[in-house]
Amino acid sequence: MLTDKQILRIPGPTPIPPSVQRAMAQPMIGHRGQSTSDMIRDIRPRLKRVFGTTQEVIILTGSGTAGLEAAVVNTVEPGEEVLVLVTGAFGERFSKICQSYSIQTHIFEVEWGLAVDPEAVKKFLLEHPEITVVFSTFCETSTGVLNPIKELAAAVKEVSTALIVVDGVSCVAGTETEMDNWGIDVVVTGSQKAFMLPAGLSFIAASERAWKKIEANPQPRFYLDLKKHRDNLLIDTTPFTPALSIMFGLQQVLQLLEEEGLDQVYKRHRLMKDMTRAAFGALDIPLLTLDKDASPTVTAAKPTDFDAEKFRKVMKEEFALEVAGGQGPLAKKIFRIGHMGYCSPADMLQAIAAIEIGLVKVGKKIELGKGVAAAQHVYLTEGEKTK
Amino acid sequence: MLTDKQILRIPGPTPIPPSVQRAMAQPMIGHRGQSTSDMIRDIRPRLKRVFGTTQEVIILTGSGTAGLEAAVVNTVEPGEEVLVLVTGAFGERFSKICQSYSIQTHIFEVEWGLAVDPEAVKKFLLEHPEITVVFSTFCETSTGVLNPIKELAAAVKEVSTALIVVDGVSCVAGTETEMDNWGIDVVVTGSQKAFMLPAGLSFIAASERAWKKIEANPQPRFYLDLKKHRDNLLIDTTPFTPALSIMFGLQQVLQLLEEEGLDQVYKRHRLMKDMTRAAFGALDIPLLTLDKDASPTVTAAKPTDFDAEKFRKVMKEEFALEVAGGQGPLAKKIFRIGHMGYCSPADMLQAIAAIEIGLVKVGKKIELGKGVAAAQHVYLTEGEKTK
């Protein structure tokens, strides 16, 4: 097989655009020098637009989980009770972080593959007025569900003053995120998904009322103290040495997002999602999620007539094409294909055409080209609007 | 459209593998230093294997045409008569070079799209015993024809002592090249095709009897004097400053070719050719060349029911996918798709799936997925053998 050729179609880390690689390769600079301040000053307003907020977006050097932990330790005061909505592995991640701080944590879990129901959460909160923070995943990477965050925030606000903290790691920059308009209090994301960067940076924004609580919160923290980060950010610097080369790349990523236009970026992700789902439908591969709950960044399939793990192995061997497996209760039962960030409709046509060959290799009876045709049809209809 | 994403499917320059880009990015070195000598010593035997020769392969800094001119001025003595076999634009290139040196040039032209017939050449040489050098294109990039060089050399030798000079620019490293076994006197190629490098280097090898003539040839030349180059190459250096960064890349390219294995590299190219031709056949797009004459590196199609130029424009606009147009008499009449070098069967599945959408956009009535299915079928049958 042609060496030095990988096709990375997992839901993150995602491929990195060449211009971003080049940007990251520029010579190192001092983190306390003028160049770094200039870079941070340039990044600040541009990052706010992606989050849909007027608040500062903290650039934390750490992976997504560091950002999630920062959200917990900054928003939850000792002795408070919180609610974690669990729709998959990353909802669980939130609850594990809370529990590691001995925070009294209510778990509201829905079957993996389903989205959280805002009305049910509202009902739960009415029965638990003591809850002060609600943690939810936006895109649940482990299932491909995009939780209805806008509706969830509205529902929570009807019955509670609890802060709404959202894990947007695998979808921010790939799907509409209107933090301010939707009334989200904290949004966290990472650099290695729709942001098209290597892992290493986490981005966190907090609402005005969240900042009030953060400033008064006696919960011990140092590196993850968001107030420290914001105070430094406001003067274009960071409290600790940042991952500068990933920040070089971030500037170029923002450039690419602005060149394409955020609305177009979101449309492209929806188009790739619809192409993928149409193809799997045509190939008779059951999807884990309902259309209404499907994330534009990752699609999970739950095969009934072939082995997901064997299929993934074949794809790697035949085409060096990597798709992800299942996690937790879905381990070995599903496979997940990422279509976010540096990924185009043409890339999905390639993935689907290759997948058809993989299906034949694992013994599934399919009509060659049928999945591709379904995706092409979606492109030709929806694609028009997407231009 | 996703910016910073191009799909280059022209018959050269071809995409450059990331590991080759990284190799070329290493710090510059002195061209008279030990590192350069070490690099040249490392490259020499590895390049010979790609040419199928025990002779030294000259590394000339210049594009393919510089290599073709070097072949002419080194092998043709003043006053000699030569034969140029013209099967397309690059056969013409040879004749133009000869004519610019006022060499009496016999042109044996066949209709563009056809291969040269060794028997007809034999007949021509019998009628022209004064011919001392026969110039032929191996892969004619402008038509996608792979001339039967092995058979041609055998035929020429039956009736003539003329040197056989071959332009292998768009196929060497993508198709079997057995210079010694086939009795080829000079093979020339360039760096920007199946060698997966930027343009800037030309590789030239000559047979023992060719070297005898080259050494005695009074034809004036300086930069292109192959003897000067060989004398320096034998002591691991070059007569003039070489394009060192492309040579850094060449080392990595040789590494990739050796990792995959040359036989496998050639099989992969044949597979991509067969997939492409099967797809075009299924989509009812007439091919310019016959199966027996088809090059494994480039395929030309001659559409009858849509405009080739409009189609190329659509492919660029929709997918940033570039295919080449026609040259000379075939201008605007054909389009050419390259499948050489850093290109995989999965890349061809992508190109074909995208092409189907392009066809719909230019108004051709096709059944979506049909071309992809034909290519997939070829992959699943022939692909097995190709593993």
Mean pLDDT for the stretch of residues A261-274: 98
Which whole-number Å values give the CA distances from A365 to A282, A336, A361, in the listed order? 12, 21, 10
Would you write out chain B's pLDDT as a tens digit for each of its 387 residues?
788 999 999 999 999 999 999 999 999 999 999 999 999 999 999 999 999 999 999 999 999 999 999 999 999 999 999 999 999 999 999 999 999 999 999 999 999 999 999 999 999 999 999 999 999 999 999 999 999 999 999 999 999 999 999 999 999 999 999 999 999 999 999 999 999 999 999 999 999 999 999 999 999 999 999 999 999 999 999 999 999 999 999 999 999 999 999 999 999 999 999 999 999 999 999 999 999 999 999 999 999 999 999 999 999 999 999 999 999 999 999 999 999 999 999 999 999 999 999 999 999 999 999 999 999 999 999 866 554
Contact B2 A353 (CB under 8 A): no
Interface of A with B in 289-328 (CB under 8 A): 319, 321
* A7 and B CB contact within 8 Å: yes
For residue A11, is the peptide bond before it cis, meaning its omega torsion is within 30 degrees of 0?
no
Query: Greater confidence, A116 or A384?
Result: A116
Report the gap between the CA of A203 and the closest CA in chain B (Å): 23
Q: Which domains does chain B have, with CATH numbers?
A: 7-13+261-382 (3.90.1150.10), 18-258 (3.40.640.10)
Given a contact cutoff of 8 angstroms between Cβ atoms, the answer to whether A148 and A69 are in contact is no
What pLDDT does residue A1 have? 78
Element (H, E) at B24: helix B18-24
Q: Which of A4, A8, A1, A27 minimizes the C-alpha distance to A198?
A: A8
Q: Which helix (H) or strand (E) holds A204?
A: strand A201-206
b/e per residue B88-110 (b: at least 16 CB within 10 A): bbbbbbbbebbeeeebebbebeb
Residues whose CB is less than 8 angstroms from the CB of residue A317 and which lie 6 or more positions away in sequence, other chains included: none
Answer yes or no: do B353 and A368 touch at CB < 8 A.
no
Taken in order B294, B298, B304, B305, the sign of the CA dihedral is positive
A5 contacts in chain B (CB < 8 Å): 17, 342, 344
Q: Please give the distance of CA B200 from its chain centroid, rounded to a whole number.
A: 14
Cβ neighbours of A353 in B, within 8 Å: 346, 349-350, 352-353, 372, 375-376
pLDDT at B1: 78
Is A44 among the annotated ligand-binding positions?
no
**Distance (Å, rounded) from C-alpha A41 to C-alpha B151?**
68
Phi, psi of B46 (to 5 degrees): -70, -35
Contacts of B226 (CB under 8 A, 6+ apart): B58, B70, B74, B204, B206, B214
Task: Please check whether residue A270 is in contact with residue A178, taking contact to mean a CB–CB distance below 8 angstroms.
Answer: no
- Tell whether A16 lies on the interface with B, counting CB pairs under 8 A: no
Q: How many A×B Cβ pairs under 8 Å?
A: 124
**Helix, strand, coil percentages in chain B from 3-state DSSP, rounded to 5:** 45, 15, 35
Q: How far is CA B296 from the centre of its chain?
A: 10
Q: Which helix (H) or strand (E) holds B275?
A: helix B262-282
Torsion sign, CA atoms A361, A364, A370, A374: negative
Cα–Cα distance list, B15 to A180, B62, B64, B74, B217 (Å): 44, 19, 17, 32, 39
How many whole angstroms separate alpha carbon B272 and alpha carbon B264? 12
CA A7/CA A16 separation, integer angstroms: 12
> Cα separations (Å) of A145 from A138, A382, B325?
8, 21, 45
DSSP H or E segment with residue B163: strand B163-167
Which candidate, B96, B69, B95, B91, places its Cα nearest to that of B82?
A: B95
Residue type, A378: V
Tens of pLDDT, residue by residue over A86-123, are: 999 999 999 999 999 999 999 999 999 999 999 999 99
Amino acid A223 reads Y
Asked if A257 is an interface residue toward chain B (Cβ–Cβ < 8 A), one would say no
Angstroms from B243 CA to nearest CA on chain A: 22
Distance from the A58 Cα atom to the nearest Cα atom in chain B, whole angstroms: 27
Structure tokens at A277: 């789902």
Minimum-distance CB partner of A373 among B346, B350, B369: B369
Amino acid at the residue A46:
R
Q: What angle do CA A134, A174, A187 make, to 5 degrees?
A: 25
The answer to whether A340 touches A269, Cβ cutoff 8 Å, is yes
Question: Which residues does chain B have within 8 Å of residue A18's beta carbon, measured at their own beta carbons?
Answer: 4
Residue B366 sits at the chain A interface (C-beta within 8 Å): no
Nearest residue of A to residue B20, measured between CA atoms: A4
Longest dimension (CA), chain A: 62
DSSP secondary structure letters along A74-110: HHPPTT-EEEEEESSHHHHHHHHHHHHTT-EEEEEE-
Note whether A345 contacts B: Cβ–Cβ < 8 A. Answer: yes
Locate the chain A residue with the closest alpha carbon to B366: A373
Provide ipTM, 2 decimals. Answer: 0.92
Q: B313-316: long-range contacts at Cβ-Cβ below 8 A with a sequence spacing of 24 or more?
A: B314/B358, B314/B361, B314/B362, B315/B354, B315/B355, B315/B358
Residues of chain B numbered 25-64 and touching chain A (CB < 8 Å):
25
